[in-house]
Amino acid sequence: MFEKFNCNNLEESTELLKQKVQESKEIINSLLKIKNKTYENFVMPYQEVGERLNEFLTPIFHIDSVKNSEITKKVHEECLPIISIYETEIGQNVDIYRALKDIQYNYNTSLNNIQLKVLENEIRDYKLSGCHLENNKKDRLKELNLTLSELSQKFSQNLLDATNDFEMVVEDFEDVKELPASDLELASFEEEGRTKYKFTLQMPSYIAYITYGTNRDFREKIYKAYATRAPQNADIITEILTLKDEKVKILGFDCYAQYSLSTKMASNEQEVVSFLEELAQKGKNRAIEELDEVKVLASKEGLRDIQSFDLAYYSEKLKKEKYDLDEEFYRPYFERESVLKGFFDFLNAIFDIKFVQVEEDAWDKKVNVYNIEEEGKVIARIFIDLEARKDKRGGAWMNNWHTHYIDNNGNTHLATAYIVCNFPPSTKNTPALLRHNDVVTLFHEMGHALHHLLSKVPESYVSGIAGVAWDVVEFPSQFLEYFAYDKEVLKLFAKHYETGKVLSDDAIEKIIKAKNFQSSLAMVRQVEFALFDFKLHQKLYKNEQEVQSLLDEIRQDVATIIPPKYNKFQNGFAHIFGGGYAAGYYSYKWAEVLSADAFYMFIDSGNIFNKELAIKYKKAILEQGGSKDMEKLFFDFTGRKPSVDSLLKIDGIIS
């Protein structure tokens, strides 16, 4: 039923990929020889070729992110040019493009809307690949795509290496005395008969010291190490920007931002910039007030020149003062396995889906594998990898492996996906205890996963997250996040790992009240990142100094606290230089408008467990994948257009 995850013979992958690429070319060539091409005899097998290649390649690229080693790096580097060249060649194949256009024209009235959507997307993407250009321009695009893929991978690898290279050893307990006991246990080690404490740039460790570290010098040391990671990425950024600018101008666009929007919900560049500036304008004054509160508290402790590396530390003190909220108090109530079980119970209660753990091999023994059942039938599989490891890329993400679709023979193929996070690991004395923020992250990534796994769309190229516009792909993930702040949802799993006692109503109320703590500061920070990303791709910035000047300019307009000059945030901005968010980082806020508006329907109904509404959402949004534009799907679900005010209300920025 499901393909087993197996990267045991990783070294053979390069040769196997070459074979599979050659087989794919031969199948496509045979499809092109069909005289009377139809959707059934051409488009459906054409999609299957792409699916089979993706299914083979996904674990190879995935293993490099979750079990990074010299072997995974070598195989990734070898496979990257093979698949990049193949995809560029296919994308520029004018015969495929003409065949798709002919089928669209000849069968327009007999094809269903989902089939027409597949054709519409593919024809658009062939134009964006330059299939209509002269051969010399096609050849240059092939070179550019390959180099950009290699640079993106190099950017990410530099960041991972820099993250792993740093260690900060603290010898005096006075410098760590405010750290929670669980963080101290993770950091402590014995050397020369003494207990010492080691901190790294792995996220659980970094957050622990920057939030609770008593010694300001050490806070700055670890902050500076984090903010100056991978300085060699500055040159890679310049090269990426130059090559992307060349690429889109060959394709006839004025800039990369314009090219990027051709596959998104936003209609033009000004719409995006105006949207972000509106958020900044509505949130900036409140953000300044939030920062002033921190400054007042810090000044009481004798600090009058608060810096970026002080903000988390004094913000945590302020949060405790305002809400009596102690993160360490909560962690025993968020034991990882209890959270997972309760989360699955919640998803079963609203969506009628059941998670059943199965014994299956994965890339690490700490990975859990579950089948998802609906009405007693297995419909999908998910791999969940939550603990931070040194050989694992930082952050959290969902990666789709197989896609749900029905093939030409009527066989249903089931979807699979991975959820990867970097939560605090278990120790020899304590199970893995999460922060509430970790719980929110888990809900977020599961939102992505369910969007992919619950698809009922029969065509693979618009099933699950395939074909979903990039600026609305965050909608289902952010929507599910909101439930992580509901009292009744939290009671399903917030149970003390030793006593089994459920977290009290008062303690839960503190989490809910603290939800919007510094929400304006957080929003303007996201807007800062999004404006930097978008404007960076509106014209060509030719060197490190020009890139830095743009970032500085945006910070002057948007930011409430200016970081030190040594801060080179851009060198670690993996979302846009190592991932797929270039000129699209704004989508987090864009999609948040949809998610907030959708969640308000549950609030207005007076029942967060409103099953009728949840099933409607499941059928209107999750099961539809990319088969319709999200604008239409959202209207189908809500009966209205989304409003920015819903987001500002839910974040407590306006009343």
Percentage of the residues of the chain whose pLDDT score is greater than 70:
100
Res 520: pLDDT:
95
Per residue in 493-534, pLDDT tens?
A: 999 999 999 999 999 999 999 999 999 999 999 999 999 999
* Cα–Cα distance for residue pair 528/558, rounded to 1 Å: 6
Strands in 147-229 per DSSP E: 167-170, 188-191, 194-200
Res 154: pLDDT:
97
Res 79: pLDDT:
96
**b/e map 455-480, b = 16+ CB within 10 Å:** bbbbbbbbbbbbbbbbbbbbbbbbbb
Per residue in 223-244, pLDDT tens?
A: 999 999 999 999 999 999 999 9
* Cα–Cα distance for residue pair 438/231, rounded to 1 Å: 29
The one-letter code for the residue type at 181 is A
Name the residue with higher pLDDT: 646 or 179: 179
Per residue in 563-579, pLDDT tens?
A: 999 999 999 999 999 98
Three-state SS at 403: coil
Classify burial at 522, counting beta carbons within 10 Å of its beta carbon; exposed 0-12, middle 13-18, buried 19 or more. Answer: middle
Q: On the CB side of 258, how many CA atoms lie within 13 Å of its CA?
A: 12
Within 8 A by CB and 6+ apart from 3, the residues are 55, 402, 416
Res 470: pLDDT:
85
Three-state SS at 334: strand
The one-letter code for the residue type at 63 is I
Q: Is 202's pLDDT higher than 80?
A: yes
* Cα–Cα distance for residue pair 303/320, rounded to 1 Å: 18
Q: Is 655's pLDDT higher than 80?
A: no
Which single residue is written with the structure tokens 């005010």? 645
326 CB neighbour count, 10 Å cutoff = 14
The C-alpha angle with vertex 117 and arms to 114 and 120, in degrees rounded to 5, equals 155
Task: Take residue 331 and report the two structure tokens written for it.
Answer: 């962690």
* Cα–Cα distance for residue pair 5/21, rounded to 1 Å: 21
Name the residue with higher pLDDT: 247 or 324: 247
**Which string of DSSP letters, residue by residue, matches 71-114?**
HHHHHHHHHHHHHHHHHHHHHT-HHHHHHHHHHHHHTTTTS-HH
Per residue in 107-154, pLDDT tens?
A: 999 999 999 999 999 999 999 999 989 999 999 999 999 999 999 999
428 pLDDT band (50/70/90 cuts)? Answer: confident
Classify burial at 17, counting beta carbons within 10 Å of its beta carbon; exposed 0-12, middle 13-18, buried 19 or more. Answer: buried
Q: What is the pTM of this model?
A: 0.88
Name the residue with higher pLDDT: 427 or 249: 249
In contact, 285 and 292? CB cutoff 8 Å: no
The C-alpha angle with vertex 434 and arms to 573 and 420, in degrees rounded to 5, equals 45
First to last CA, the chain: 51
Q: How many helices (H) and strands (E) does the chain have?
A: 26, 10
Helix axes 13-32, 94-106, angle to 10 degrees: 50
Averaged pLDDT, 91-99: 96
466 pLDDT band (50/70/90 cuts)? Answer: very high
Distance of CA 45 to CAs 38, 39, 301, 406, Å? 11, 9, 68, 11
Q: Is 311's pLDDT higher than 80?
A: yes
Q: Which residues does the annotation mark as catalytic?
A: 445
Res 394: pLDDT:
86
Distance of CA 299 to CAs 293, 302, 310, Å? 10, 5, 12
Res 650: pLDDT:
86
217 pLDDT band (50/70/90 cuts)? Answer: very high
Res 326: pLDDT:
82
Res 646: pLDDT:
83
Name the residue with higher pLDDT: 206 or 648: 206
429 pLDDT band (50/70/90 cuts)? Answer: confident
Q: Is 472's pLDDT higher than 80?
A: yes
* Cα–Cα distance for residue pair 430/407, rounded to 1 Å: 48
In contact, 326 and 423? CB cutoff 8 Å: no
| Candidate from 18-27, 314-323, 595-604, 643-652 with smallest mean pLDDT | 643-652
Per residue in 585-599, pLDDT tens?
A: 999 999 999 999 999
In contact, 336 and 431? CB cutoff 8 Å: yes
Tell how far CA 457 is from the center of its chain: 23
> DSSP letter at 495?
B
For the chain, give the mean pLDDT: 95
Task: Take residue 546 and report the two structure tokens written for it.
Answer: 């020009």
Averaged pLDDT, 430-449: 96
- Domains of the chain: which residue ranges? 10-91+93-132, 166-227, 332-518+588-650
292 CB neighbour count, 10 Å cutoff = 11
Options 3.40.50.300, 3.20.20.540, 1.20.1050.40, 1.10.10.10; CATH of 10-91+93-132: 1.20.1050.40
Res 654: pLDDT:
80
> DSSP letter at 456?
-
Q: Does domain 332-518+588-650 have CATH number 3.10.129.10?
A: no
Three-state SS at 197: strand
Res 113: pLDDT:
97
325 pLDDT band (50/70/90 cuts)? Answer: confident
341 pLDDT band (50/70/90 cuts)? Answer: very high
Per residue in 480-490, pLDDT tens?
A: 999 999 999 99
Res 517: pLDDT:
95
Considering only CA atoms, which of 386, 370, 368 is closest in space to residue 426? 386
Res 169: pLDDT:
98
The one-letter code for the residue type at 504 is S
Per residue in 446-455, pLDDT tens?
A: 999 999 999 9
